[in-house]
Chain A
């Protein structure tokens, strides 16, 4: 019986020749990740284990990105716990404010994750690294504590679901639209406990940033991980960044899938998720007249350089609507600097946007753009749950950066063509 790419990576890390869906395994990890919300809980639990060192100081990444730069005294205390732990145990990959980025933008960029790796992170969007052909999944703080001590994690081998996309994408349609469409089709538990494997000619044509966006939102369909085959683009991305030798795994032709979806996406329009679940997806022209008070472009889903370039392409020469705030958050310092060099930040500020240092901030209603009662936001983030970005009676819509940028100009949710036509 053949195995999928996910099964092969898990088998290799469990020291087994083969694994099947449903098997409970103890697996060796290549990297464990925590942030300023989840790591403090893990650090308390770590102390209870009673060991005096971490399993490998170079295989742990600690990124204070959620409530940083610290929004209040409590969050400052939490970040301090992280900082002191990192110093005490000489954690190599601790990223202080100013050198920091949103964790799932930062780790691939810094070369800490690569093809064939098994990565766990105490953050649900850890599934992002599947874009590189890694098995990467979100866990909780106690799992992180155990992994920091022992370098292992217990996992149930997930069944795989294949998503095959074919057809050439229309202008203004990309990875975000593909993943929103997918979640709209299968629902927020459509891939529960499963591995989502993205394949097909459309996928092969996507750049790495689009693939990160898609893998990132696998969790919004309930998946354990999202994963892509390694190709020339993957290798080009990791070359010069990822320093360790790596193994490229591929799904066997006779591998078993729980389900297979095949979609012709050649006529797909830009997609928007309506409140209050990421599965409430419609083409942008069918959402109706939705006036906005805030637009956020950034996050671990869409805070990468190509996202900022796409937004700038729309915003160049335009002013945003006078009744609206536009907040743009580059995902890492490196992305921020490159955006500066390319003149993107100037375009944003000229348009009337606020540009922030990297932070998860508004995505989870933490800080840097909280919504008041009755306010409505369009965001390039990943969740639109009740109260996600602020008041329980506020609303969040989700889209790609181009739709978000165009909508910021018009003050309501629009197709990007509306802005380009009026230019």
Chain B
């Protein structure tokens, strides 16, 4: 169960906004976190508290394939991103590194900055504790739950390869 206050973003938040390319000369998560949203929300990196949640409109994470974008969010302490929709590479990158992301148009329409959200990943039930509204999201298929619960693609693959004894 995740619980955190909400940071609000609009539509088409691109990966250059999440982490500008000039900071991609490192892959150190702490450095990336310090520059997260540097150009469009410079206060974010200073003020974000571990466990907080991002809610955004459509097409979150569009643009580059840089995994530095979900890495920066995760390292900054963001526990979950909820958006009306996600750009597809960001979607798989987030799951692959174990950052939960959920699609909900209703939440994207109604949730406000500063609201307190509670997210139940297993059941797909997300509650806005500030307004009392509940948003149901589609639970992940078993394959993907296994991947997320294992901490991402690498632990999943390590287990799988160890299990079969082949590469």
Contacts and interface: CB of A to CB of B under 8 A. Distances in A.
A402 B155 CA distance: 49
Contacts of B17: 385-387
A299 B132 CA distance: 50
A289 interface: no
A373 to B, nearest CB: 12
Nearest to B144: A24
B89 A139 contact: yes
Contacts of B144: 24
Contacts of B59: 188-189, 192, 222
Nearest to B70: A140
A385 B16 contact: yes
Interface stretch (B22-30, B112-120, B121-129): B22-30
Interface string A217-237: 001001010000000000000
A37 B24 contact: yes
Contacts of B48: none
B167 A51 contact: yes
B39 A392 contact: yes
B93 interface: yes
Nearest to B167: A51
A74 B31 CA distance: 12
Interface string B1-45: 000000000001010110011101111000000000001100000
A283 interface: no
Interface stretch (A12-20, A142-150, A240-248, A318-326): A142-150
A122 interface: yes
Interface string A260-298: 000000000000000001000000000000000000000
Contacts of A388: 16, 21
B56 interface: no
A108 interface: no
A121 B65 CA distance: 9
B63 A124 contact: yes
B157 A49 contact: yes
A172 interface: no
Interface of B: 12, 14, 16-17, 20-22, 24-27, 39-40, 58-59, 62-68, 70-71, 85, 87-89, 92-93, 96-97, 141, 143-144, 152-155, 157-158, 161-162, 167
6 contacts: A24-B143, A37-B24, A140-B96, A189-B58, A189-B87, A366-B22
Q: Sort A-B residue pairs by CB-CB distance and give the 3 closest, nearest first.
A: A140-B93, A74-B25, A142-B96
